[in-house]
Structure 1
Amino acid sequence: MATGRLHFLLVFLTQQLLLTHGAKILTICLVGGSHYLLMDEISRVLHTNGHDVRMFLQVGEGMMPGYKLKASPYPVITWPMDENYLKEFNGFIKEHQREFFMGRSGLHSYFEFLKQISHQCKHTLNQKAILKSLKDDKYDIAIIDAFNPCTFLISEKLGLRYIAFFPGTFANAIEVGLPTPLSYVPIYQSQLSDRMDFFQRVKNTFMYFASRMVDLKVQAIFEEVITEHFAVESRPAISDLYLKPELWFYNTDFTFDFARPLLPHIQCIGGLMAKPAKPVSQELEDFISQSGESGFIVVSLGSMVASCPQKELLKEMNGAFAKVPQKVIWRYHRSQWPTDVELPPNVKLMDWISQNDLLGHPKARLLVTHGGMNSLMEAIYHGVPVVGIPLFGDQFDNLVRIKAKHIGTSIPPDQITADHFANIIRQITEDVSYKSEAMKLSAIRKSRPFPPDQQLVRWVEHIIRSGGGRHLHPYAFQQPWYQQYLLDVILFITICLILVIYLIVKILTFLAKKLCSRQKQKQT
């Protein structure tokens, strides 16, 4: 007993000393765009709070068209992808972008993308020298971009405890063991709100079973990677790795999302990128000042989308902006603008925009967006209504939440015409109820007890100080499925009821026979 107490004391003191001098933390980012921006922000926040942070970044995926990488205050460990493969992958992305702008987004595209990710994962796990160096560095914990299953495999390969950060809402709730009552919690990709009628609940139930099939397909895509890079006796299952993180962070909160049950190891830190606005450049300020009371509209369809591959759609959007009274600041790669399409005088193209600062400007009236989480959380933070053009992934479900909260609406890209789109913009900007609801959500968001960056730091330090997050995990994760769903109990009760009914029938039958035999005796 004394030895055990001494061991606990030594571990506790070591952890306190470690946090005094800063923990050694590895962040793993293998997907670019907004995923990189979020992982970079997480790394910077932890670095600023005194921790020794390093990022393992896959070069070629961290770049975004028009974006200039900021100087990093923390070390970044990179490795280059094969140039030929990168060209092939970029071609794959552009081809699928064309499909998305035509309103064609489906499971096939998602599975094809994951096959590309699994192919990249093989190459990453082949970087044995880098992985050995990372393993020898003895990190205290890893924080991974949980969108990419490969980050789980890398953490497992390095033998690291890890915290999983999911860059969106609860798309993987079932996989991580979250209670999901189908009567009011919409399944990912169902495009339902939490207020479902009978037939919507039927749809949600079928979507649940369909989502389980999709999960199995995703796991199957990575089976080849696991077989190739892990010994037989230590091969992990993706489904087990999703239950293994010490903690789960989600890039959402309930100003945006529908209220639902959570578990202690699930924490919402949505809005890391949403901050008080800084002044915009003088060039932009001069342009904005010309708008008068009409204000301006911010247009951005995501960090990875710098242009529109569908020229007809581009013309319709451009025509719609020409019909509205607001100035329009459009994040669009100017060199890719078609020379035969005339830009209206109220529209300004920019290769990259500081979206958060623009949304925080007092004259910002509307955000036209693809419906990515970072954009929507920034719009909510600054109280700016939204018009969404969903292209792929979680954007459809995200914009369902925007409509349910009455801070905006959405329109599929294949339904956009200049007149219809302009009417939608006028509807959202002129109906004060949208702005009013957006400001209410902004007030709720800003009055949270702890900002998301503080939550991030405190929870990471708590996990390190506690020696892990096992105390936050329900015992259900260790139970067999039949115990978790009480099937053994239901079977036992069913058998007992059948026996009781059987005995009652037997007794009644016996009594009936006795009664009949007595009546016969009396008659004779």
Structure 2
Amino acid sequence: MAAHRSWLLVSFLLLELLLLEAAKILTITTLGGSHYVAMSRVSQILHGSGHNVTNLLYESVYHPDFREEKPSYQVINCHLPEDQQKKIDNRLNLLLEELSNGGFNHPTFVKIYQHYGNLCSHLLTRKDIMEFLQNENFDLVLLDSLDFCSLLIAEKLGKRFVSFPPIQFSFMDLVLPSPLSYAPVFGSGLTDQMDFWGRVKNCLMYFYFSMQQREMVSQYDSTIQEHFAEGSRPVLSDLLLKAELWFVNSDFALDFASPLFPNTVYVGGLLDKPVQPIPQDLENFITQFGDSGFVLVALGSVVSKHQTKEVIKEMNSAFAHLPQGVLWTCKSSLWPKDVRLAPNVKIMDWLPQTDLLAHPSIRLFVTHGGMNSVNEAIQHGVPMVGIPFFGDQLENMVRIEAKKIGVSVQIQTLKAETFALTMKEVIEDKRYKSAAMASKIIRQSHPLTPAQRFVGWIDHILQTGGAAHLKPHVFQQPWHEQYLLDVFLFLLGLMLGTLWLCLKVLGAVARYLSGERKVKQT
């Protein structure tokens, strides 16, 4: 019976592909690191499903660590003159280093958005690129909502767009139904199970984070004033609400359950790739440790580049206390000369992370807590020890701890002895592995794969001319109507007016009765 349903599903999808005309889709990437990886992957998926995909890529974000086979879809590179580009890249590296060492440092985030706002201004002045994009007459734009420049490009082109934010969805205020009693605000460090003081903190964090968001968005004000005519200048925060669909790079294997609008689709695991056999040299290294297995360590492209000598030294010392082998993504050129590599540790500039997470001998994943890495670990049921540095990494690890899949370690207090004990606890306590496997089952038990859901919804809005039927009216309501403040004020006024009238009537009755009593006494 199950096989029959699967065959019907496959037949339906094939028929739908035959009937659906290929669309022209523009994907935009002006941010680097995991943002580039995410947009590259979704571009491949859309192209593989039969659509004509063009990717607008800001060349400076094309990180060499992510270079693979030449993409089959069209790529348009935008870049600055070499001397100017070098200056900008150096500036960005300094900001990323500052961010890596400072955790969720809001002033640094503001400076980073200011940096990208200036780059966006340059991109919008490129008449050759903007005219080419305009002439292509795309059917749809797919963008990263954290990349504010891509929102302005879509607005300039006058095209419908869908959003695929690669980090925690709660980072942006999207007028989603997010009851503060159980939906934690980004940066609060809370779970969905809050006590009284937790709810107080969540409410205060909501207003604080809203102010932070406004400051970040304001870094594009000068770009908007320069490139949009007066009277037609968009409000950047309002552009977010124009998205036809929101694809969330997570699901309830990781995230807390909360209400969603119909145009919000969870596609956790979308970026996962088919597992390949690992290189023989890595297999030989793993085999040395027999049943003890191995630990995979990968702290992401940004963190790996900017981690300090002290952190490397403490981590290396901690790994030396483990019976497992340790495969560590760490550039040899950045390894401190006076730190001797532990005998059970192998460092490499690049490791096949997905393939190693799927290896039967893996016992633990030490991660920075980036969304892509966390999703891959959940996909393969691997428990984690997280060392979050900035951005959504802290929020991801809050969820990992709440789901009992792993433990978080603060970078400011990371010491070899306690770090080693934490790793041993997660490896030896079978409850972590059981929770990781439970999340894996949740992730993989959907009737459709993340890619099928993603492409299916894209095709849906292409066929129906948009997602107006999926958008609630709340997107058009002013904030005082959304929160029923006008209704509360009316009811409060009605109640106070009724109370005042009752008091007046009671006063009049009291005066009348008092007057009658006086008359009788006389």
Task: Judge same fold: TM > 0.5, yes or no.
Answer: yes
Matched-pair contact (CA < 8 Å) for 2:100–2:303: no
Matched-pair contact (CA < 8 Å) for 1:295–1:364: yes
Matched-pair contact (CA < 8 Å) for 1:103–1:414: no
Q: Which residue in the other structure is 1:419 paired with? A: 417
Partner of 1:246, secondary structure, is coil
Counterpart mapping for 1:483-494 below 5 A: 483-494=481-492
Bigger relative contact order, structure 1 or 2 (CA pairs below 8 A, ≥6 apart): 1
Matched-pair contact (CA < 8 Å) for 2:99–2:105: no
Distance 1:517 1:257 in 2: 70
% identical equivalent positions: 45
In structure 1, give the amino acid aligned to 2:411: P
Q: Which residue in the other structure is 1:31 paired with? A: 31
My pick for the range that moved more, 100-109 or 384-393, is 100-109
Distance 1:277 1:104 in 2: 33
Pick aligned residue for 2:207 from 193, 206, 209:
209
Pick aligned residue for 1:195 from 188, 193, 216:
193
TM-align CA RMSD: 1.7
Pick aligned residue for 1:355 from 353, 356, 359:
353
Distance 2:297 2:369 in 1: 11
Residues 406-425 of structure 1 deviation map (CA, whole Å, 9 limit, x = unaligned): 11111122211111111111
Distance 1:514 1:305 in 2: 82
Distance 1:113 1:459 in 2: 33
My pick for the range that moved more, 227-236 or 298-307, is 298-307
Tell me by how many angstroms 1:248 deviates.
1.0
Q: Which residue in the other structure is 1:46 paired with? A: 46
Matched-pair contact (CA < 8 Å) for 1:103–1:413: no
Distance 2:386 2:17 in 1: 49
Tell me by how many angstroms 1:160 deviates.
1.1
Matched-pair contact (CA < 8 Å) for 1:142–1:161: yes
Tell me by how many angstroms 1:173 deviates.
4.7
Tell me by how many angstroms 1:101 deviates.
5.0
Q: Which residue in the other structure is 1:501 paired with? A: 499
Distance 2:264 2:367 in 1: 28
Q: Which residue in the other structure is 2:402 paired with? A: 404
Distance 1:520 1:396 in 2: 77
Partner of 1:515, secondary structure, is helix
In structure 2, give the amino acid aligned to 1:420: T
Q: Which residue in the other structure is 2:153 paired with? A: 154
Partner of 1:304, secondary structure, is helix
Q: Which residue in the other structure is 2:132 paired with? A: 133
Residue 365 (str. 1) matches residue 363 (str. 2): yes
Pick aligned residue for 1:224 from 212, 222, 225:
222
In structure 1, give the amino acid aligned to 2:39: M
Distance 1:133 1:274 in 2: 32
My pick for the range that moved more, 273-282 or 39-48, is 273-282
Distance 1:265 1:217 in 2: 27
Q: Which residue in the other structure is 2:13 paired with? A: none
Q: Which residue in the other structure is 1:7 paired with? A: none
TM-score under structure 2 length normalisation: 0.94
Residues 321-378 of structure 1 deviation map (CA, whole Å, 9 limit, x = unaligned): 1111111111111222223221122111111111111000001111111100000011
Partner of 2:223, secondary structure, is helix
Distance 1:389 1:17 in 2: 43
Matched-pair contact (CA < 8 Å) for 2:37–2:66: no
Q: Which residue in the other structure is 2:81 paired with? A: 82
Q: Which residue in the other structure is 2:518 paired with? A: 520
Partner of 1:329, secondary structure, is strand
Distance 1:128 1:335 in 2: 40
In structure 2, give the amino acid aligned to 1:50: G
Tell me by how many angstroms 1:263 deviates.
0.6
CA 17–433 in structure 1, closer or farther in 2 if over 3 Å, else same: closer
Distance 2:359 2:18 in 1: 42
In structure 1, give the amino acid aligned to 2:245: L
CA 101–150 in structure 1, closer or farther in 2 if over 3 Å, else same: closer
Partner of 2:61, secondary structure, is coil
Tell me by how many angstroms 1:96 deviates.
4.0
Q: Which residue in the other structure is 1:322 paired with? A: 320
Distance 1:488 1:94 in 2: 48
Partner of 1:392, secondary structure, is coil
Q: Which residue in the other structure is 1:11 paired with? A: none
Residues 145-179 of structure 1 deviation map (CA, whole Å, 9 limit, x = unaligned): 111111100111111111111111222452x1101
Q: Which residue in the other structure is 2:4 paired with? A: none
In structure 1, give the amino acid aligned to 2:465: G
Tell me by how many angstroms 1:198 deviates.
1.2
Distance 1:111 1:37 in 2: 23
Distance 1:521 1:20 in 2: 93
Distance 2:46 2:368 in 1: 29
In structure 2, give the amino acid aligned to 1:344: A
Pick aligned residue for 1:454 from 452, 455, 471:
452
CA 104–264 in structure 1, closer or farther in 2 if over 3 Å, else same: closer
User: Runs of 5+ in structure 2 lacking a partner?
Assistant: 1-15
Tell me by how many angstroms 1:219 deviates.
2.3
CA 124–386 in structure 1, closer or farther in 2 if over 3 Å, else same: same
Residues 299-322 of structure 1 deviation map (CA, whole Å, 9 limit, x = unaligned): 111133444541122111111111
Residue 262 (str. 1) matches residue 260 (str. 2): yes
CA 232–17 in structure 1, closer or farther in 2 if over 3 Å, else same: farther
Partner of 2:231, secondary structure, is helix
Residues 80-130 of structure 1 deviation map (CA, whole Å, 9 limit, x = unaligned): 233334333433344345445545441011111111110111111111111
Distance 1:186 1:218 in 2: 21
**Paired residue total:** 507
Q: Which residue in the other structure is 2:122 paired with? A: 123
Pick aligned residue for 1:234 from 228, 232, 235:
232
Matched-pair contact (CA < 8 Å) for 1:308–1:314: no
CA 280–310 in structure 1, closer or farther in 2 if over 3 Å, else same: same
Matched-pair contact (CA < 8 Å) for 2:98–2:108: no
Q: Which residue in the other structure is 2:476 paired with? A: 478
Partner of 2:301, secondary structure, is coil
Distance 1:432 1:135 in 2: 56
CA 322–89 in structure 1, closer or farther in 2 if over 3 Å, else same: farther
Distance 2:17 2:421 in 1: 61
My pick for the range that moved more, 86-95 or 138-147, is 86-95
Q: Which residue in the other structure is 2:433 paired with? A: 435
In structure 2, give the amino acid aligned to 1:492: F
Partner of 2:242, secondary structure, is coil
Distance 2:506 2:21 in 1: 79
Tell me by how many angstroms 1:68 deviates.
2.8
In structure 1, give the amino acid aligned to 2:34: S
CA 230–19 in structure 1, closer or farther in 2 if over 3 Å, else same: farther
Matched-pair contact (CA < 8 Å) for 2:109–2:216: no
Partner of 2:170, secondary structure, is coil
CA 100–347 in structure 1, closer or farther in 2 if over 3 Å, else same: farther
Residues 250-308 of structure 1 deviation map (CA, whole Å, 9 limit, x = unaligned): 11111001111111111111212224522111111111111201111111111334445
Residues 383-441 of structure 1 deviation map (CA, whole Å, 9 limit, x = unaligned): 00111111111111110111111111111222111111111111111111101110111
User: Runs of 5+ in structure 1 lacking a partner?
Assistant: 1-15
In structure 2, give the amino acid aligned to 1:46: L
Tell me by how many angstroms 1:215 deviates.
2.0
Distance 1:507 1:110 in 2: 61
Partner of 2:341, secondary structure, is coil
In structure 2, give the amino acid aligned to 1:53: V
Tell me by how many angstroms 1:183 deviates.
0.7
